């Protein structure tokens, strides 16, 4: 367990620390040598990373994949209660947040959804603003937000345009902070600043740590556990995490979705910060440790039985619950493990030839770490994975994954639909986890289903976290294998997006120049 504890975490030198005096965080490229171009064996990826050989090659063919602002940051920040979000941007940068009044409304009150109202404004930058600057507009928008809603916090999200024309967010905020009641939090999520969307989340946490988390007083809440979650958890996951922590006598402090401003303020008072997704939570966890002494751990996330066991143990270690945690785990095992075995038996026998079902998942970094062992637990063979990006923050964990579970192929790309479709055809796994918005990879005769649902989904079949989630996901996979009508119909009846010659090439990274050299290294 030693690699899991807080003293040994990290490939980032903790002595360097986070510089919260700075306007914003460093990019993931700089902070953790992040990349989003690689195809080869995971062992090679680890070796290259350790040797500092990973490079972010420029693709000659690239597809729209998200930026620090519009990789769902917009749809997440706008859900924060008692707050207003201001997009200092042209009108289109915020249109993804138009669902704000509906997000979570499908969750019945009986499942614990409180009443809420969220709001956002855009400064709607126009051609004149680009020429003359729009500081006055931003100031006005802040005052307007204050007058309309008297919020406790106002998040101000930067954009490519505000960044390139040199808008001084900090200056505007300083000029108006004393006249408004809300805490003003700049988020430097300019799309143009980084190739890695995780930079946007780091920028958000930077703003939260610097401007929102309560600094004064040493009050601790020994039963409070910070749970910063990724986009891809849903309401049942939240209920399961709450249930499990409740059995330990602990309370979750969920951020950012749907959290109140107070939930953010009290992040500094928690006993521990626990990950649902380490790569997403990383900056917050480090910041809370550095500034407020809140311990954290990076691994594992509560996905699958064994991961959940160890997640609970880590939390228990930091909250003085080691005496009860084994009892809780044993109780849970009694309920859930037989069901896992039943699912595993069905999955292992599914092909009928004694071999395991191969599965290809399109995952984030965090899911890569959490889900690969979980797939093994389910009796599936995760021979390959696609991950959004890769950085040194998870280097040791991937190294361990390879050592413990064996090598696997890995394609690192951020939503590159053509590459994903190529790899899916090439490997032809028994089951692939994807969605139509990720390109035509789902159009196939073998099984395909989604990797996860999203936040507002209250259905039990969509759960993935904790013990209940492990079973729900296992059953979901079984259901997917038995109901291929949808993706088979699309395969037979609709066109592909890419020309056939592409699928005949050996390498999904066909359009990455200099790939030949990289390949020579890899094989």
Q: How far is the CB of 177 from another protein (least distance, A)?
A: 19
Q: Does 191 bind another protein (CB under 8 A)?
A: yes
Stretch that binds another protein, among 99-107, 230-238, 251-259, 343-351 (CB under 8 A): 99-107
Stretch that binds another protein, among 191-199, 333-341, 390-398, 459-467 (CB under 8 A): 191-199
Nearer Cβ to another protein (326/496): 496
**Could you give the CA distance from residue 506 to residue 515 in angstroms, rounded to a whole number?**
12
* Partners of 303 in beta bridges: 466
52: burial class by Cβ within 10 Å (0-12, 13-18, 19+)? exposed
**Could you give the CA distance from residue 302 to residue 427 in angstroms, rounded to a whole number?**
29
Q: What is the 3-state secondary structure (H, E, C) of 322-378?
A: HHHHHHHHHHHHHHHHHHHHHHHHHHHCCCCCCCCEEEEEEECHHHHHHHHHHHHHC
Among 121, 288, 357, 448, binds another protein (CB under 8 A): 121
Among 1, 21, 51, 127, binds another protein (CB under 8 A): 127
- Ramachandran region of residue 343, left (φ > 0), alpha (ψ -120 to 50) or beta? alpha
Using CB under 8 A as the binding rule, the residues of this chain from 460 to 519 that contact another protein are: 494-499, 502, 511
Joined together, the tokens standing for residue 159 give: 């954009």
Using CB under 8 A as the binding rule, the residues of this chain from 70 to 89 that contact another protein are: 70-72, 74-75, 89
Nearer Cβ to another protein (44/424): 424
Stretch that binds another protein, among 45-53, 120-128, 291-299, 474-482 (CB under 8 A): 120-128
Using CB under 8 A as the binding rule, the residues of this chain from 31 to 60 that contact another protein are: 58, 60
Using CB under 8 A as the binding rule, the residues of this chain from 431 to 460 that contact another protein are: 436-440
Using CB under 8 A as the binding rule, the residues of this chain from 404 to 423 that contact another protein are: 414-418
Please answer whether residues 252 and 295 qualify as being in contact, where contact means their C-beta atoms are separated by less than 8 angstroms.
Answer: no
Joined together, the tokens standing for residue 180 give: 């408004």
CA Rg, the chain, in Å?
Answer: 23
Q: How far is the CB of 287 from another protein (least distance, A)?
A: 24
**Could you give the CA distance from residue 371 to residue 367 in angstroms, rounded to a whole number?**
5
Nearer Cβ to another protein (15/115): 115
* Partners of 119 in beta bridges: 84
Stretch that binds another protein, among 64-72, 279-287, 289-297, 329-337 (CB under 8 A): 64-72
Nearer Cβ to another protein (230/248): 230
Crossing angle of helices 365-377/278-292, nearest 10°? 120
**Could you give the CA distance from residue 421 to residue 438 in angstroms, rounded to a whole number?**
9
**Could you give the CA distance from residue 229 to residue 256 in angstroms, rounded to a whole number?**
7
* Partners of 84 in beta bridges: 119, 154
Q: How far is the CB of 444 from another protein (least distance, A)?
A: 15
Among 24, 44, 79, 123, binds another protein (CB under 8 A): 123
Which residues are CB-contacts of 98 (< 8 A; sequence separation ≥ 6)? none
Nearer Cβ to another protein (68/304): 68
Q: How far is the CB of 487 from another protein (least distance, A)?
A: 13
Q: Does 126 bind another protein (CB under 8 A)?
A: yes
Using CB under 8 A as the binding rule, the residues of this chain from 151 to 180 that contact another protein are: 159-161, 164-165
């Amino acid at each position: 367990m030693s690699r899991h504890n807080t003293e040994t975490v990290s490939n980032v030198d903790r002595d360097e620390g986070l510089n919260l005096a700075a306007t914003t965080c460093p990019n993931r490229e700089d902070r953790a040598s992040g990349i989003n171009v690689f195809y080869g064996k995971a062992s090679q990826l680890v070796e290259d990373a350790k040797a500092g050989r990973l490079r972010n090659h420029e693709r000659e063919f690239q597809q729209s994949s998200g930026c620090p602002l519009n990789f769902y940051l917009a749809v997440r920040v706008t859900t924060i209660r008692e707050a207003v979000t201001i997009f200092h941007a042209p009108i289109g940068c915020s249109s993804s947040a138009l669902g704000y009044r509906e997000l979570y409304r499908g969750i019945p009150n009986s499942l614990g959804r409180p009443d809420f109202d969220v709001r956002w404004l855009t400064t709607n930058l126009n051609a004149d603003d680009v020429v003359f600057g729009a500081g006055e507009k931003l100031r006005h928008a802040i005052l307007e937000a204050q007058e309309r809603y008297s919020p406790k916090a106002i998040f101000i999200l930067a954009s490519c345009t505000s960044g390139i024309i040199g808008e001084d967010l900090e200056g505007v905020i300083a000029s108006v902070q004393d006249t408004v009641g809300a805490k003003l939090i700049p988020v430097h999520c300019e799309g143009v600043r980084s190739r890695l969307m995780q930079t946007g989340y780091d920028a958000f946490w930077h703003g939260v740590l610097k401007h929102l988390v309560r600094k004064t007083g040493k009050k601790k809440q020994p039963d409070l556990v910070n749970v910063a979650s990724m986009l891809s958890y849903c309401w049942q996951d939240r209920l399961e995490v709450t249930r499990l922590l409740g059995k330990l006598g602990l309370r979750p402090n969920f951020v950012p979705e749907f959290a109140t401003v107070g939930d953010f303020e009290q992040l500094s008072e928690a006993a521990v910060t626990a990950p649902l997704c380490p790569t997403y939570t990383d900056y917050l966890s480090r910041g809370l440790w550095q500034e407020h002494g809140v311990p954290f751990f990076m691994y594992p996330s509560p996905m699958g039985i064994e991961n959940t066991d160890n997640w609970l143990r880590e939390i228990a270690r930091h909250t003085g619950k080691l005496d009860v945690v084994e009892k809780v785990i044993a109780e849970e095992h009694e309920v859930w493990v037989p069901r896992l075995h039943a699912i595993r038996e069905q999955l292992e026998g599914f092909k009928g030839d004694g071999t395991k079902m191969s599965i290809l998942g399109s995952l984030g970094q965090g899911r890569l770490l959490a889900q690969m062992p979980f797939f093994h637990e389910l009796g599936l063979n995760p021979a390959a994975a696609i991950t959004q990006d890769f950085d040194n923050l998870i280097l040791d964990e991937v190294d361990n994954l390879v050592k413990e579970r064996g090598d696997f192929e890995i394609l690192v790309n951020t939503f590159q639909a053509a590459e994903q479709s190529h790899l899916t055809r090439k490997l032809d796994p028994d089951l692939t986890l994807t969605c139509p918005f990720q390109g035509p990879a789902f159009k196939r005769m073998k099984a395909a289903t989604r990797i996860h649902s999203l936040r507002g989904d209250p259905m039990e079949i969509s759960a993935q976290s904790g013990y209940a989630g492990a079973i729900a996901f296992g059953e979901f996979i079984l259901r997917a294998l038995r109901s291929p009508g949808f993706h088979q119909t699309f395969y037979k009846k609709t066109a592909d997006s890419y020309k056939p010659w592409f699928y005949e090439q050996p390498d999904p990274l066909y359009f990455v120049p200099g790939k030949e050299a990289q390949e020579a290294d890899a094989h």
